[in-house]
Amino acid sequence: MKPGLSLLYLVGSTPEQMFSAMERLGEECRVWELVDDGNLKLDREIMEKLEEYAASYRFEYSVHTPFTDLNIASLNPHVRKLSLKAVGESIEKAYKINAETVVIHPGFKGPLEYFYPKKSLQVNLESVRILLEQAENLGVHLAIENMPRGNWALLSTVEEFEVFFSEKPLEGLGLALDVGHAQTVGQVESFIRRFKGKIRHIHLHDNLGDKDSHLKIGNGTIDWASTIKALKETSFSGYLIVESVQEPYESLKTLKSMVQSLTLKK
């Protein structure tokens, strides 16, 4: 398991501030999740610098594809086409900078859901298949993230993902387990137990179980000792990405300490 840090907490900052933070933490953090959205959207200049940093600091990357105002399950074909284009371009960028994993959000229910029940689920599945084929053609590992509790969410519970993953052909698609999101539906342990063979990537942040607040690890109600131990017992060997917006550096230190403690007890 490799602890790392998502740049989500800097998504409203400038690329210069992003690179400054990466330089400052170069010795403490080698794994970074890039957020291809907002001010940190991956353009050619940023990507070239990221490649330089990968060589000089031995950084490893994952990429979170854009999500602002996008919906791959939209029943509006124009919105869906734009969403697939934006996410698809992000997958190509991840390939170019040799990112380990690319994370996508599932789509969500829109205003027409009442008139076309479950239609969004079907459209979401079709869109994911398109993106998965693109990723596999490039040799990129694609992982879909579980969403927090909400009437708009298509994929947030274990039961919903069981149905989703039973569809074909999705064999090459991994699960990006968001522990904070799973906590909002009360299913952290259930996700780990049920999908231990599908979990490709992990996001970690805390909350009180009521909403997706991205708190510092330890400032919510998640049982972190039990969670990290359960992940280790599944032989998970991918990235553990801290996605706390509150005190991200302290969260990373806490995570690394827990992982090291489990390693010493081996």
Per-residue confidence (pLDDT) for residue 117, from 0 to 100:
87
Whose structure tokens read 């919906």? 71
**Residue 209 burial by CB count (10 A; 0-12/13-18/19+): exposed, middle or buried?**
middle
- 231, 152, 145, 154: which is closest to 180 by C-alpha? 145
Residue 262 has pLDDT above 80, yes or no: no
Domains and CATH numbers, the chain: 2-264 (3.20.20.150)
Residue 52 has pLDDT above 60, yes or no: yes
Q: What is the mean pLDDT of the chain?
A: 95
Residue 264 has pLDDT above 70, yes or no: no
- Residues 6 or more apart whose CB falls under 8 angstroms from that of 125 comprise 164, 167
The residues with which 108 forms a beta bridge, in sequence order, are 153
Average pLDDT over residues 245-260: 94
Residue 151 has pLDDT above 60, yes or no: yes
Q: How far is CA 247 from CA 15, 54, 158, 196, 260, in A?
A: 20, 25, 29, 29, 20
Distance CA(39)–CA(32), nearest Å, equals 17
Residue pair 247/213 in contact by the 8 Å Cβ criterion? no
Per-residue confidence (pLDDT) for residue 119, from 0 to 100:
95
Distance CA(143)–CA(207), nearest Å, equals 23
- Structure tokens of 140? 């990129």
Q: What is the pLDDT of residues 17-41, one digit of tens each?
A: 999 999 999 889 999 999 999 999 9
- Structure tokens of 133? 């084929």
Query: What is the residue type of 77?
Result: P
- Identify the band that residue 172 occupies on the pLDDT scale cut at 50, 70 and 90: very high
Per-residue confidence (pLDDT) for residue 54, from 0 to 100:
96
**pTM of the full structure:** 0.95
Higher-pLDDT residue of 168, 201: 201
Q: What is the pLDDT of residues 67-123, one digit of tens each?
A: 999 999 999 999 999 999 999 999 999 999 999 899 999 999 988 888 988 999 999
Distance CA(69)–CA(28), nearest Å, equals 34
Number of residues that make up the chain: 266
DSSP 187-254: -HHHHHHHTTTTEEEEEE-B--SSS---BPTTSSS--HHHHHHHHHHTT--SEEEE--SSSHHHHHHH
Distance CA(90)–CA(150), nearest Å, equals 26
Per-residue confidence (pLDDT) for residue 162, from 0 to 100:
97
Higher-pLDDT residue of 246, 129: 129
Cα dihedral 33→132→108→217 (10° resolution): -30
H-type alpha helices, the chain: 15-24, 44-57, 77-96, 119-138, 158-165, 179-184, 188-194, 224-233, 248-264
Whose structure tokens read 């539906």? 185
Q: What is the pLDDT of residues 175-231, one digit of tens each?
A: 999 999 999 999 999 999 999 999 999 999 999 999 999 999 999 999 999 999 999
